[in-house]
Chain A
Amino acid sequence: MEYVISVLLSGISVGGQYALIAIGYTLVYGILRLINFAHGDVFMVAGLMGIYFTATLPVTASVPLVIFLTVVLGFTIERAAYKPLRGAPRMSVMISAIGVSYLLQNTATYVTGGQPMTYPVIPFLSDTVNVAGTQTKWVVIITPFLVLILVFALSLLIGRTKVGMAMRAVSKDFETSRLMGIKINSVISVTFIIGSALAAVGSVLFFTNYPAITPTAGAMPGLKAFVAAVFGGIGSIPGAVIGAFLIGICETIIKGLPSSWDVSVFSDAFTFALLIIILIFKPQGLFGEAATDKV
């Protein structure tokens, strides 16, 4: 029983962390129809920045700084690598995204010297707490609530503000919303800013619970978050969050199965199997609108 609770708790927390990344994917895909392969690496860079800043600055100063710089990074990537290709075929933009991902990973290897970096202990988040007889970290408890608060704030932003309205319009129809006087470029920038900020928050939560950061640490969570976004219906924020929680829980369950079965190697593969099943049977995802351009 205690084992089940601890698996579920960490599943929910991993799911929450995926959710924060998945929102970045789903927003960008909804507007640009681009799988932003670099998003997972932005997440990784945020983690590395967290390590370097907490070494010199107090946590209260370094976390906001990390979020701010990740936003700047996301904004710069969009302006430098995606904006020049706005009229180009979708394949070119995706190749550019892969190129950015390659660049970020290689730069991270250069800066860290390729060594795995340990994430600093953040007071309170890293402290242990006793829940129903199992020892766990505070971050595990806090993550789902924080995710829900952030998602609530985000849905207010998208549903109630002018920027949000513009974002919805652009995701419905790129060309028409441009004709209606919406400044496409600033809407896209806002999307990247939101996505990067959430990824930065996600990185603080994810890596607190994780032994070390390597330059490729972002790729797998990134892909999984993308699968979560597809699972929930791309473009739908609640869908992405629910998909992420499901994937997080399933993954921890697979990892927690008896070691004699030896199936933990499939914890990543499972996510992709799920993706393929979803794409075949319900390509619009759980909450997505029926679109015709996927299949």
Chain B
Amino acid sequence: MVQKKRSYTALIGITVLLLFVILLENLGNFIPGLPQVLTPTSPLFTVLKKAAVYSLVAVSMNLLNGFTGLFSLGQAGFMLLGAYTYAILTVPTAQKEQVYYLFEGCAFDFSLVDMFEGIFGNHGAGGAIAMILACLLALILAGCVAGFFAYLIGFPVLRLKSDYLAIATLGFAEILRAIFQWQKLGKVTNGANMIKGFPTFTNFNITDSSGAVILRLSTFVPFLISSLCIVVIVLLINSSYGRAFKSIRDDEVAAEAMGISLFKHKMLSFVISSFFAGVGGALFAMYVANAQAKAFTSVMTYEILLIVVIGGIGSVSGSVLATFLYVACSEWWLRFLDSEQYIGNIKVPLLRNGFRMVVFSVVIMVIVLFFSQGIMGNREISLGALIRKFSPKKERKQ
């Protein structure tokens, strides 16, 4: 009963959040003369989009590192697989010649976008349905490819423990990166060059016949997809599988004695986490509007790992919260640290390109060393509890 009530609250909470995102994004259409922060070009929306994408990847990493206790550093590799799968499948055939010009065209003349446009037509509602279905299918396939590779890699790697698992998965990510940069595969992966021209978040904005935007959905789409995926992960964590994962994390020997198949559950967690990392990678490709192997380095994995640590290893809401804080700080709030600033006539010392990241890493080290629980530890934000906490105040106001 309580469980049911809690899931309803969560559902309502997410719906309200999504509606709020749409509203926020389209304020400019209703109210002219908005403050700069709320116009579509403001850093606010860049932050929201990037954070929505990263939060999915962070939660997927948390599923593996925080809930199953498998210290994997292969996240960037699976993101790369997802990004490339999505990109290769959705670049329209008409654009392929131009994108793959160094390799004189792509090896296979096929695009999900074209396929669905062939069925539903390419403008008006039909075009919209074609676009949505193509992107959705490509995202799912992106996840499946990443998950399948994780399944293959899992056989040798999941037998290893803690730090050896970490370095082996990191190694696999590096191998994947090399393969995707190989010029011999250029007809498929475009070698070391980027693939672009596929549908991105801005393609979801609804425009009228003249091309003017009627309804902006470019921030809503990543929010929708990420929150759907995160809800699935949370449901998984709360299921009996999730409890098995946690028991493996806490004590492998005891878990095995209780009849939990270690390898099966580790593999399950690894594959599911990689599936969502793949989807996250595809979303990342949509966010940056290109797919390039060079972007998915181990530094990216470290960044996501540090986000998970800041949020609290073993807390989904902590990861999401930390992602939004981290991305907002690094893309927006702390930007001023990178340029010279004056207070009155005095130049503030030290501020120069790169200082932001130094401050950032110092903060991260402080969190790692002194607040190893992160923001949330292994607790979760509960919407019901928040409402209960704040409702008496409201009554007093009335």
Chain A interface residues (CB < 8 Å from chain B): 33-35, 80-81, 84-85, 88, 90-92, 94-96, 98-103, 105-107, 109-110, 113-114, 216, 219, 223, 226-227, 230, 262-263, 265-266, 268-269, 271-273, 275-276, 279-280, 283, 293-295
Contact = CB atoms under 8 A, between A and B. Distances in A.
Interface stretch (B138-146, B154-162, B236-244): B154-162
A26 to B, nearest CB: 13
Contacts of B156: 276, 279-280
A250 to B, nearest CB: 15
Given A94-B71, A100-B365, A269-B175, A276 B358 contact: no
B168 interface: yes
A99 B368 contact: yes
Given A33-B163, A81-B365, A95-B309, 9 more contacts: A88-B372, A95-B305, A95-B368, A99-B361, A99-B364, A110-B353, A279-B160, A295-B159, A295-B161
A238 B247 CA distance: 40
B137 interface: no
Nearest to B369: A84
A92 B71 CA distance: 11
Interface stretch (B15-23, B118-126, B178-186, B279-287): B178-186
Nearest to A110: B354
A276 B168 CA distance: 6
B362 interface: yes
Interface string B101-140: 0000000000000000000000000000000000000000
A276 B173 CA distance: 12
Interface of B: 65, 71, 156-157, 159-164, 166-168, 170-172, 174-175, 177-179, 181-184, 192, 298-299, 302, 305-306, 309, 352-355, 357-358, 360-362, 364-365, 368-369, 372
A106 B171 contact: no
A262 B182 contact: yes
B352 A273 contact: no
A113 B178 contact: no
The 6 A-B pairs with the shortest beta carbon distances in the complex, nearest first, are A272-B171, A110-B354, A269-B178, A103-B361, A106-B357, A269-B175
A253 B156 CA distance: 27
A262 B183 contact: yes
A259 B172 CA distance: 24
Contacts of B360: 106
Contacts of A105: 299
B294 to A, nearest CB: 11
Contact of B353 (A81, A90, A113): A113
Given A276-B156, A279-B160, A279-B168, A102 B174 contact: no
Contact of A272 (B65, B159, B174, B369): B174
A85 B357 contact: no
Q: Which of B71, B163, B183, B352 has the most CB of A within 10 A?
A: B163
Contacts of B357: 106, 109-110
B365 A99 contact: yes
Nearest to B365: A99
B358 A102 contact: no
A96 B178 contact: no
Contacts of B65: 91
B162 A90 contact: yes
A216 B298 CA distance: 11
For chain A, what secondary structure do more than half of its interface residues adopt (helix, strand, loop), or is it mixed?
Answer: helix
A80 B299 CA distance: 22
A96 B160 CA distance: 21
B273 to A, nearest CB: 16
B186 to A, nearest CB: 10
A294 B305 contact: no
Nearest to A294: B164
A272 B175 contact: yes
Contacts of A269: 174-175, 177-179
A216 B170 contact: no
B364 A92 contact: no
Given A91-B162, A269-B175, A102 B354 contact: no
A114 B192 CA distance: 22
Nearest to B366: A99
Given A95-B305, A114-B353, A262-B183, A107 B171 contact: no
Q: Which of B355, B357, B360, B368 has the most CB of A within 10 A?
A: B368
Contact of A91 (B71, B164, B170, B354): B71
A226 B354 CA distance: 29
6 contacts: A94-B163, A98-B302, A109-B354, A265-B192, A269-B174, A293-B161
Contacts of A279: 156, 160, 164, 168
B166 A102 contact: no
B182 A90 contact: no
Contact of B369 (A81, A226, A230, A294): A81
Contacts of B355: 110
A266 B182 contact: yes
A226 to B, nearest CB: 7
B167 A35 contact: yes
Contacts of B177: 269
Given A266-B182, A272-B174, A99 B354 contact: no
B181 A295 contact: no
Nearest to B159: A295
Contacts of B167: 35, 223, 226-227, 230, 275
B354 A114 contact: yes
